[in-house]
């Protein structure tokens, strides 16, 4: 069988070769001619899988190493008899840790405790649930908005978008990008939404850029309806809005889900999908693992007596590092994504010299601690 894989999917090379001919292409090289005799495609969010690419090909399966699948024309796939699969949850913990690290960095910068703040989570699926876990452990109050889940599960656990707008100190969005249907999310955060904000919240978009309306967001920030902005996902990536970059306190090149753990999960899921679909046992799948961090120990005694947990979080992943790089060279948006030094998630670290109280929090955040 023949697989065509994006050559920037990490930890993939050598794993499928024992059972398939594998051709690695960069995103720009994916074209009709190249994919026409492939049985399966392994893709990323930057690889548009639509009629133009697929018509006339013998592709049977598209598997994307991502949670989002707005780059796959699912209607066309249904029409053409092409099965597609994503990797649900693969990098959910990574995104949640990105959100926590970002708000921790802002809280240190502003000298404002997160404890007691209310975070409004819009979209409470794989990512939103992980954000909720971390923020609850951190002593924050959580408001959850998810109309599709509310409709299926009842109202008790959920609030309206208006309630989020009125009551949240921090708003973070974790919905898929959808352009049609009752729950369409394109420009969900628009002028009407921003006009309802009451508490000058911090606003975070680490799902898809088109879920906010850039002009409305800029206006809301300039009118101080939003006090701080964290942007990982942008409209029109990689050609990002430079004014929004200026306004954001943390601006990153769509890397919230880029932990090494999340990337390995995404790759492994793609291989599992191929295995199931074509009835193949993939002997080397166990080799798809993230590398250990250079130093697995975080010693709290290194840090000043205040904010030791916050410093431990930022020692494992600090969004301000990639923020600085992006500001210096916003044209290199995609380059930063391809050449990213994937951090490990909290679970790869053991934090030492914690007090019993600190240890309790560290364990609930997902660190090891002794």
Ligand X SMILES: NC(=O)c1ccc[n+]([C@@H]2O[C@H](COP(=O)([O-])OP(=O)(O)OC[C@H]3O[C@@H](n4cnc5c(N)ncnc54)[C@H](O)[C@@H]3O)[C@@H](O)[C@H]2O)c1
Tokens, residue 129: 């649930």
Contact 258, 321 (CB under 8 A): no
- Shortest distance in whole angstroms from residue 128 CB to ligand X: 5
Count of residues in contact with ligand DEZ, rule CB under 6 A: 9
Residues 37-56 that bind ligand DEZ (CB under 6 A): 44-46
What whole-number distance in Å separates Cα of residue 338 and Cα of residue 30? Answer: 16
**Locate tokens 């394109």: which residue?**
186
Q: Which residues are catalytic?
A: 208, 237, 254
- Shortest distance in whole angstroms from residue 364 CB to ligand X: 20
Binding site for ligand X (CB under 6 A): 67-68, 89, 91-92, 95, 122-128, 145-149, 174-177, 183, 185, 188, 206-208, 232-233, 254, 256-257
Helix (H/G/I), strand (E/B), else coil: 219:
helix
SS3 content of the chain, % helix, strand, coil (to 5): 40, 15, 45
| Contact flag: residue 91 with ligand DEZ (CB under 6 A) | yes
C-alpha 263 chain-centroid distance: 11
Contact 44, 66 (CB under 8 A): yes
The interface region with ligand DEZ, picked from 61-69, 135-143, 150-158, 312-320 by CB under 6 A, is 61-69
Q: Which does 46 bind (CB under 5 to 8 A by kind): ligand X, ligand DEZ, none?
A: ligand DEZ
Q: Is 261 annotated as a binding residue?
A: no
- Shortest distance in whole angstroms from residue 93 CB to ligand X: 10
| Contact flag: residue 187 with ligand DEZ (CB under 6 A) | no
What whole-number distance in Å separates Cα of residue 131 and Cα of residue 256? Answer: 12
Q: Which does 290 bind (CB under 5 to 8 A by kind): ligand X, ligand DEZ, none?
A: none
Q: Is 338 annotated as a binding residue?
A: no
For the chain, the residue count is 370
Q: Which does 238 bind (CB under 5 to 8 A by kind): ligand DEZ, ligand X, none?
A: none
Residue 134 exposure: Cα atoms within 13 Å on the Cβ side: 28
| Contact flag: residue 257 with ligand DEZ (CB under 6 A) | yes
Cβ closer to ligand DEZ: 16 or 67?
67
DSSP string spanning 168-184? -SEEEE------SSTT-
Residues 96-115 that bind ligand DEZ (CB under 6 A): none
The interface region with ligand DEZ, picked from 62-70, 142-150, 317-325, 327-335 by CB under 6 A, is 62-70
Annotate 199-211 with three-state secondary structure. CCCEEEECCCHHH
Q: Is 232 annotated as a binding residue?
A: yes
Q: Which does 44 bind (CB under 5 to 8 A by kind): ligand DEZ, ligand X, none?
A: ligand DEZ
Tokens, residue 99: 């959100």
Contact 61, 229 (CB under 8 A): no
Residues that bind ligand DEZ in the complex, under the rule CB under 6 A: 44-46, 66-68, 91, 257-258
Task: Please give the annotated binding residues for NAD(+), written as ranges.
Answer: 146, 232, 257
């Amino acid at each position: 069988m023949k697989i065509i894989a994006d050559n920037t999917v990490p930890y993939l090379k050598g794993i499928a070769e024992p059972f398939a001919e594998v051709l690695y292409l960069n995103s720009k090289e994916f074209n009709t001619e190249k994919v026409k005799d492939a049985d399966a495609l392994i893709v990323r969010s930057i690889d548009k899988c639509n009629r133009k690419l697929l018509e006339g090909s013998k592709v049977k399966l598209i598997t994307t190493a991502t949670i989002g699948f707005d780059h796959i024309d699912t209607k066309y796939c249904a029409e053409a008899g092409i099965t597609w699969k994503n990797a649900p949850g693969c990098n959910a913990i990574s995104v949640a840790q990105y959100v926590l690290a970002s708000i921790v960095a802002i809280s240190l910068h502003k000298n404002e405790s997160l404890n007691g703040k209310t975070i409004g989570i819009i979209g409470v699926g794989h990512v939103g649930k992980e954000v909720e876990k971390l923020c609850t452990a951190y002593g924050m109050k959580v408001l959850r908005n998810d109309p599709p889940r509310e409709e299926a599960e009842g109202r008790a656990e959920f609030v309206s978008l208006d309630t989020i707008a009125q009551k949240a100190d921090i708003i973070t969005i974790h919905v898929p990008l959808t352009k049609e249907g009752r729950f369409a999310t394109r420009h969900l955060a628009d002028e009407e939404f921003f006009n309802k904000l009451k508490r000058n919240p911090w606003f975070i978009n680490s799902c898809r850029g088109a879920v906010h309306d850039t002009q409305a967001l800029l206006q809301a920030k300039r009118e101080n309806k939003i006090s701080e902005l964290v942007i990982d996902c942008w409209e029109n990536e990689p050609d990002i809005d430079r004014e929004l970059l200026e306004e954001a306190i943390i601006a990153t090149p769509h890397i919230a889900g880029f932990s090494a753990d999340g990337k390995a999960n995404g790759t492994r899921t793609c291989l599992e999908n191929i295995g199931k679909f074509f009835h193949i046992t993939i002997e080397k799948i166990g080799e798809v693992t993230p590398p250990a961090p250079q130093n697995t120990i975080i010693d709290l005694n290194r840090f000043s007596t205040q904010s030791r947990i916050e410093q431990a979080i930022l020692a494992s992943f600090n969004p301000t590092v990639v923020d600085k790089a992006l500001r210096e060279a916003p044209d290199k948006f995609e380059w930063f994504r391809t050449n990213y030094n994937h951090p490990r998630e909290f679970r790869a670290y053991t934090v030492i010299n914690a007090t019993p109280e600190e240890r309790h929090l560290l364990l609930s955040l997902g660190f090891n601690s002794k």
